[in-house]
């Protein structure tokens, strides 16, 4: 039985991942601002409501959540994030909106990483949610693009500092462009889940009760891997 931490489980990718691992019988520790309506209370699901951008309260909430299971967390999915408001010109993007997106997509990620990498033992795998927007910026996506580009830099920087721990960082990307770093390579979503302990491979059109791979395949057609 593995212990998995997932941020952002109320809907979408994080929700599918939580249901997938629960169906496998794993321990799932989850945080998000809102609870997942389709995941009922159960023995192996440990959920705490948390605004990860609240840097005064979030660390204590996360530590409390981690204490609910004696098993160390093996895999961390840094899934929580937001796109921001409707696409608009950079000069029309307020500083409040800009900082709000960076606070969740970047600042909250660093906060969670600081806690998890200080754990004994640290997680063996970290998956972070990046985007093609980090590599190919487009008009109207200032806040989101900057946050994802900075997220990639954060992951690469931390990876070099924790290289002795052989800690892999995985980030989604739909671009065909490869990173030039010596330890980056592309990986299919099915390979990612397989490496995280999934021995079953579902097609993107999966209709299983826990269609994690199907949802991931729609949002993350490929991935950049660093180990």
> CATH number of the domain that 78 lies in?
3.40.50.720
Query: Whole domain around residue 21: which residue ranges?
Result: 3-226
Give the pLDDT confidence score for residue 26 in this predicted structure: 95
- The rounded distance, in Å, linking the Cα atoms of 155 and 86 is 27
Tally DSSP H helices, then E strands, for the chain. Answer: 7, 8
Between the two ends of the chain, the Cα-to-Cα distance in Å is: 24
The residue written with tokens 């990620």 in the block is 109
Give the pLDDT confidence score for residue 188 in this predicted structure: 45
Q: How distant, in Å, are the alpha carbons of 58, 107, 131, 184 from that of 54? A: 6, 10, 24, 32
Residue 44 near residue 28, CB atoms below 8 Å: yes
Q: Where are the beta strands (DSSP E) in the chain?
A: 3-7, 27-32, 45-49, 75-78, 125-128, 169-172, 184-187, 223-226
Split into its structural domains, the chain has a count of 1
* Start-end of H helices in 180-219: 189-195, 212-219
- The rounded distance, in Å, linking the Cα atoms of 6 and 44 is 13
The residue written with tokens 């609240």 in the block is 54
pLDDT along the chain (227 residues), means of 10: 94 89 95 96 96 97 94 92 82 92 96 93 84 81 91 81 46 35 42 47 34 43 38
Tokens standing for 161? 């500092």
Whole-prediction pTM: 0.77
Give the pLDDT confidence score for residue 126 in this predicted structure: 83
Give the pLDDT confidence score for residue 211 in this predicted structure: 37
Tell me if the bond preceding 121 is cis, omega within 30° of 0: yes
State the CB neighbour count (10 A cutoff) for residue 176: 9
Phi, psi angles (nearest 5°) of residue 6: -130, 130
Label the pairing between strands 223-226 and 184-187.
Answer: antiparallel
């Amino acid at each position: 039985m593995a212990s998995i931490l997932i941020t952002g489980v109320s809907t979408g990718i994080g929700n599918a991942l939580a249901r997938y691992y629960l169906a496998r019988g794993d321990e799932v520790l989850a945080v998000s601002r809102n609870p997942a309506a389709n995941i009922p209370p159960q023995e192996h699901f440990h959920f705490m409501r948390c605004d990860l951008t609240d840097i005064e309260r979030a660390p204590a909430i996360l530590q409390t959540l981690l204490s609910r299971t004696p098993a160390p967390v093996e895999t961390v999915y840094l899934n929580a994030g937001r796109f921001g408001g409707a696409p608009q010109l950079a000069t029309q993007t307020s500083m409040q909106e800009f900082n709000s997106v960076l606070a969740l997509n970047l600042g909250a990620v660093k906060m969670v990483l600081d806690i998890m990498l200080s754990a004994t033992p640290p997680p063996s795998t970290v998956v972070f949610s990046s985007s093609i927007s980090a590599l190919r910026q487009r008009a109207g996506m200032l806040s989101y693009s900057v946050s994802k580009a900075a997220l990639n830099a954060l992951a690469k920087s931390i990876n070099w500092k924790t290289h002795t721990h052989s800690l892999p960082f995985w980030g989604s990307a739909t671009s065909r462009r490869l990173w030039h770093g010596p330890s980056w390579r592309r990986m299919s979503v099915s390979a990612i889940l397989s490496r995280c302990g999934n021995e079953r491979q579902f097609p993107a059109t999966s209709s299983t009760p826990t269609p994690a791979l199907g949802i991931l395949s729609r949002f993350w057609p490929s991935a950049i891997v660093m180990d």
